[in-house]
Amino acid sequence: MLERIGDARVVLIGEASHGTSEFYVARERITRALIEQKGFSFVSAEADWPDASRIDHYVRHAEHPPAQWTAFARFPTWMWRNQETLDFVEWLRARNAELDFDDRVAFHGLDLYSLYSSINEVLSYLDQVDPETAAVARQRYQCLAPYRHEPVEYARAALSPHFRDCEQDVLRMLSELYERRAKLRSKDGNRFFDALQNARLVANAEEYYRTMLFGTHSGWNLRDTHMFETLETLLEYYGENSRGVVWAHNSHIGNSDATDMSRRGEFNIGQLCREEYGSKMYSIGFGTNTGTVAAADDWGDPVDIKQVRPSLKDSYEYLCHNSGVPRFTLPLRGGDPALVELLEKPRLERAIGVIYRPETERQSHYFGASLPHQFDEYIWFDTSQAVTPLGSQPTEGVPDTYPFGL
């Protein structure tokens, strides 16, 4: 697989659910090889920037104080707060300990749900390095204060004809940071970069929540555009020779042009990377037939270990199951031409997110796709098991820098 990846600058590694152990473990094994054998610079995950910064602080042994909260403690906690991710985090910390700081591999978040955590991070940083700008920031962000505990209320308020949005306030704050970047960056470039990315996130998240209830595809596209722009920002920040790994769901890293998403006017980070990097990107998807998965019944519900139903007959998963091979990798870019041609005909494909509704599986979890045009490689586990979730309470007997708790 490393030979097939070649000199790709970006490798996107997916998952067919947010709660399957085999997907996480295989993704981490590939990532370790990319770091050790191909010199990749950072891992970027479908995770909130401030929580991932908590992990980054830990794996890179950063000197500045870490964020003062438990990382990944909000729904869906098991998505990253699981034993599989922790094993990789501990491995990366141990490996980085032997390197100079500038050579240590980083861990970052790509997502934009952390509106208020990011505001708090900007304010905390500015309070320490530039109290004058911190006062300006509090004034700019005050517009969002009434929606602090439930950002969706901001979306509902946007439906009113008398609504005053906060767009200009958050954009002006981002401009304030840019105007002071020379001064702030000279004090601590890494911390300023973190604060600037949080301010960018606030601006994009404000637009995301403001438009999320208008019933169009714009919310999905805004989110994946933010993830792509964050990836580009990271590649620029780490230099022209940097290389990055992306961890996200199949629905984000596969080429959306090869799926039903394109008919709905949706695109994703996989399509944007393909357009920008061409052969210098490589995408890897995953699939399974049966087993268990960690998922919830509905948004905000507790995690449950659910049984995964056997795949539908018109699906790629059904074809893979009928191969009789329990585990395999399937090269699709440069693979066997006859096999790739046979697989090009669109079929159903299953996607399980943080919610799994087996009683409406066809409607809730299947979509049309052409696998060879969606991924460069596909990895199959006929039977799979749920991830092992970790509790969200502080863990005793570990130092304060422990990534998942104070």
The number of CA neighbours under 13 Å toward the Cβ of 8 is 26
154 pLDDT band, cuts 50/70/90, is confident
Could you tell me the CA-to-CA distances from 69 to 50, 202, 314, 392 in Å, in that order?
Answer: 10, 19, 46, 11
Nearest to 196 by CA among 108, 264, 100: 108
What does the pLDDT look like over 203-238, one tens digit per residue? 999 999 888 776 666 789 999 999 999 999 999 999
How sure is the predictor about 165, in pLDDT bands with cuts at 50, 70 and 90? confident
Prior bond to 76 cis, omega within 30? yes
pTM over 0.75: yes
pLDDT at 237: 96
Q: What value does the mean pLDDT take over residues 263-281?
A: 96
DSSP label at residue 72:
T
Average of per-residue pLDDT across 351-358: 96
Residues 62-76: tens digit of each pLDDT: 887 666 557 888 889
Compute the average pLDDT of residues 174-181. 90
Q: What is the pLDDT of residue 155?
A: 80
For residue 172, what are its two tokens? 């002006």
Give the ranges where 8-82 is alpha helix by DSSP (H): 21-38, 49-59
DSSP 368-396: EE-HHHH-SEEEEEEEE-B--B--SSPPT
pLDDT, the chain, mean = 91
- pLDDT reading at 334 higher than 90: no
With bands split at pLDDT 50, 70 and 90, how would you rate the model's confidence at 324?
very high
Q: What integer pLDDT is reported at residue 75 of this predicted model?
A: 85
Cβ 77 vs Cβ 389: under 8 Å: yes
Q: Residue 335 and residue 242: Cα distance in Å, rounded?
A: 28
Helix axes 49-59, 83-96, angle to 10 degrees: 50
Q: What local confidence, expressed as pLDDT, does residue 227 receive?
A: 97
Measured CA to CA in angstroms, residue 350 lies from 157, 249, 309 at distances of 35, 12, 11
Question: Would you tell me which CATH number, out of the four given (3.40.50.880, 3.40.1660.10, 3.30.70.20, 3.40.50.150), belongs to the domain 1-110+243-387?
Answer: 3.40.1660.10
